[in-house]
Amino acid sequence: MGLFDKIKHGIDKGVGKVTEPIKTITPIVTQPIQHIVEPIKQKVVEPIKEKVVDPIVTTTTTVANQTAKTTQNVAQSTDNYAKAGVDVTTETWHEGSAQVIKFSTEGTHAIEEGVKVAGDWLDQNACYIGLNMALTTGCVAYFTPKPEPADPGTVTSTTVSVTVATMLAKKLTMMVIAKEVGKIITDGIFLIPGVDGNVDRDLLQKIITNCIGTANPTFVAASMATPAGVGIFVGSVISPIVATLICEGVAPNGLTAMIK
Q: Where are the domains of the chain?
A: 3-21+40-252
> SS in 3 state form for 136-184?
HHHHHHHHCCCCCCCCHHHHHHHHHHHHHHHHHHCCCCHHHHHHHHHHH
Nearest residue to 15 via CA among 123, 113, 110, 151: 151
- d(Cα 238, Cα 246) in Å, to the nearest integer? 12
Helices (H), the chain: 3-12, 33-37, 46-51, 61-83, 91-105, 124-143, 152-169, 174-189, 201-214, 217-223, 227-233, 239-248
Torsion-angle region of residue 110: left (phi > 0), alpha (psi -120 to 50) or beta? beta
Tens digit of pLDDT at every position of the chain (260 positions): 443 343 334 434 443 333 333 333 333 333 333 443 444 455 555 655 555 544 444 456 777 888 888 888 999 899 999 999 999 988 899 999 999 988 988 888 899 889 999 888 989 999 999 999 999 999 999 999 999 999 999 999 999 999 999 999 999 999 999 999 999 999 999 999 999 999 999 999 999 999 999 999 999 999 999 999 999 999 999 999 999 999 999 999 888 877 65
